[in-house]
Chain A
Amino acid sequence: MKKFLALALSVAMALSLAACGNSGSGAASAAASSKPAASGSELIKVGVINNDPNESGYRTANDRAMREMFTEANGYEATFYNNNDAAQQIATAQQMIQDEVDYLLLSPGSTTGWDTVLQDAKDAGTQVILFDRMLEADESMYVAAVVSDMPKEGVTAVDWLASQGLDEYNIIHIQGHMGSDAQVGRTGALDEKVNAEGNWNYVVQQTADWDEATAQQITQSVIDSGKSFNVIYAENDGMARGAVAALDKAGITHGVDGDVIVMGFDCNQWALQELLAGNWNYDGQCNPFQAETINEIIQGLEAGNAPTEKIIYTPEQGFDATTISQSDVDTFGI
């Protein structure tokens, strides 16, 4: 009886696992439905290799946009694959090239190790378009790269902060996972400014690995040691939220008319709502919607026009709590 119970439990668990696999990450979900309709033009065959949509809200929005764009209705026959592991991505990419996709859309999980794939693609006549993430290869190996300009995101944010005209900037800088593109880009501009200006100081500069609870502990530790600060520069929304939780605990006011300026990145919908409510001051956009641009590039190539530039930056902006509107929240929130 007990053995039966254990078996039943494990079967139930295995089923719930399988159910999850269907709805989200992991296995390649082939969207290549029925063969191209006999009527009219041929469908363009694309293979999309993306990271795991569960990685972050950013990735979820990115993956959704890709899946909504490359559909049969829009003239595409698309195969999607999601995995953070570059080795798995490479294996799938090779499979896709053998299946003779016309375009390989790639968001690499790591920057290296792609030489053979790119060479195979070239030999097979498959055009490679990178999106969101770059890889280390000669520019001639891919048609275009549609990416976010992370250093520019940092510059936009720092320029905004400078425009606030504080007498002194005492900054709690909460960094993302060290070495990631977003961390390097968003840290770069601030580092430069703090080194250049006498009245810009770091109270603390620490990584929270994108984790909310760690960001809260770091901020808490600054409050506990009685140091004064007036800016929180968190490299994503979650960490900004963690830092704000620590401020609330200590009764330190923040946001518009508050003692501390709160800055986040990524433009999650809830974060923009915090801006709208005046609890935060600034949120920098990291645009996940590259699908549109990629579509334009492919349509251009089909018409015989190569893109004029290799690296195409998606437009990104920063939002200020004093000027943000509800429609901004709805349009730009991810």
Chain B
Amino acid sequence: MPVIVKEPKEQVKKPQESFWKRMTRHQLFIPLAALALLVLFNLIADPSFFAVSIKQNSLGNPVLSGNIISVLDNASELVLLAIGMTLVTASSGGQDISVGATMAIAGSVILRMVCGGQVSADSPCMPILLAVLIGIFVSMAFGAFNGALVAYFKIQPMVATLIMFTAGRSIAAWINNNELPIMNDVSFKYAGTFLPGIPVPTPIFITIFMVIVFWALLKFTNLGLYTQAVGINANSSHLNGLNPQMIKLLTYMILGACVAVAGFIRVSRSGSINYSRIAENIEMDAILAVALGGNSLSGGKFNIYGSIIGAYVIQFLTTTLYKYEVPSTALPAYKAVVVIILVVLSAPVVREKLSHMKRTAGKTVKEAT
């Protein structure tokens, strides 16, 4: 007997949607629009914002210098955190608020290893790469602690990570023996500044490398699919043969690795760490980057590229505010206003309204002609 397949009506409807509607629906619309807006503002206000020049640094190397380079350079840590935070958000439907504190721990571990336990050292006491690997390992262990609380003990992510948020900097102090270690060797600062002879800041390369790693991870493994499945419905993914607990734990450990690399870049910028202040409140920026990227903060579907662009938007905004010398006391207020606008615009309700508005506007124009 022939089987008649009835086509759903929606499918016929789809191509009729306007370009505007499809564009505003796209997940990357808001972060890209925000970025474009900031670029446009700076182009109009002062095009010299985009000027890039070559300067000699104190070691005599030619290096690129300019606001755009600064944005790309300084956003590095936030980009790495945003990538990890996206995965954690997608799998567990909550955020890790301990990333700043864990960055202090990872940075302390790396710096203390390299300094060989002394307060200040002039040459690295162990290969820097090895110290970084140990830092990544420690940070992943802390990630696993957070992940275990969330996955196996079913504690709300924000509450579970509150433990490390509170205790992290004290642990960092303990690692540092309550001292502020200083590394004076130039080679330690390569990762945070410039490699000799290369005019582009090294953090940019590290970020590109990490983005490629995650692109490959999501492209060639099932990590993305599994994370999404667990985030949408942990029970049904379990029935389909996944181990939701393991996936959640894994995402927290991946975030741990991202945090360690970010921590390394941060301590490498100046060769020292002030564990009580380093990366303070960066967790808020990281969560904001995820939200700006159009990702649902309650988990499920995600797009790491959205978060990456979100991170650059935040840094672009910060650098712009610095450039226009917004009074220090008013800085958070300005940032808040911009954030409110962006977040409201990216709310699904508003976006739905937005696309309708355009359609009706288009209709009226048509009727008029």
Q: CB within 8 Å of B: which residues of A?
A: 2-3, 6-7, 9-10, 13, 16-17, 19-21, 23-26, 53-57, 60, 175, 178, 204-207, 209-213, 216-218, 220-221, 223-226, 238, 241-242, 245, 247-253, 268-270, 273
Contacts and interface: CB of A to CB of B under 8 A. Distances in A.
A206 B173 contact: no
Contacts of B65: 223-224, 249-250
B270 A6 contact: no
B356 to A, nearest CB: 41
A224 B57 contact: no
Contacts of B194: 249
Contacts of B317: none
B362 to A, nearest CB: 42
B148 A10 contact: yes
Interface string B37-81: 000000000001100000111111001011101100010000000
A2 B249 CA distance: 11
B152 interface: yes
Contact of A210 (B48, B63, B277, B318): B277
A270 B174 contact: no
B180 interface: yes
B170 A221 contact: no
Contact of B170 (A20, A238, A253, A273): A20
A2 to B, nearest CB: 7
Contact of A251 (B58, B170, B318): B58
A269 B179 CA distance: 11
Interface residues of B, number: 61
B246 interface: yes
A213 B55 contact: no
A118 to B, nearest CB: 29
Contact of B152 (A6, A17, A53): A6
Question: Could you say which of A2, A20, A224, A242 has the most chain B C-beta atoms within 10 Å of its C-beta?
Answer: A224
Interface stretch (B27-35, B123-131, B138-146, B213-221): B138-146
Contacts of B280: 209, 211
A9 B153 CA distance: 13
B322 A206 contact: yes
A46 B245 CA distance: 52
B323 interface: yes
B301 interface: no
Contacts of B170: 20-21, 24-26, 54
A175 B74 contact: no
Contacts of B152: 3, 6-7
Given A178-B329, A206-B328, 14 more contacts: A9-B141, A10-B145, A25-B170, A53-B178, A54-B170, A54-B275, A212-B272, A212-B278, A213-B279, A238-B274, A249-B63, A250-B65, A251-B57, A270-B272
Contacts of A60: 178-179
A13 B194 CA distance: 36
B256 to A, nearest CB: 12
B141 A2 contact: no
A9 B328 CA distance: 43
A9 B167 contact: no
Contact of B276 (A6, A16, A54, A269): A54
A24 B170 CA distance: 7
A273 B182 CA distance: 11
A175 B266 CA distance: 21
Contacts of B119: 269-270
Question: Could you say which of A54, A218, A248, A253 has the most chain B C-beta atoms within 10 Å of its C-beta?
Answer: A54
B269 interface: yes
Contacts of A270: 119-120, 180, 182, 272
Given A213-B266, A217-B319, A225-B48, A2 B246 contact: yes
A213 B70 CA distance: 12
Contacts of B318: 217
A53 to B, nearest CB: 6
B148 A224 contact: no
Contact of A10 (B55, B149, B274): B149
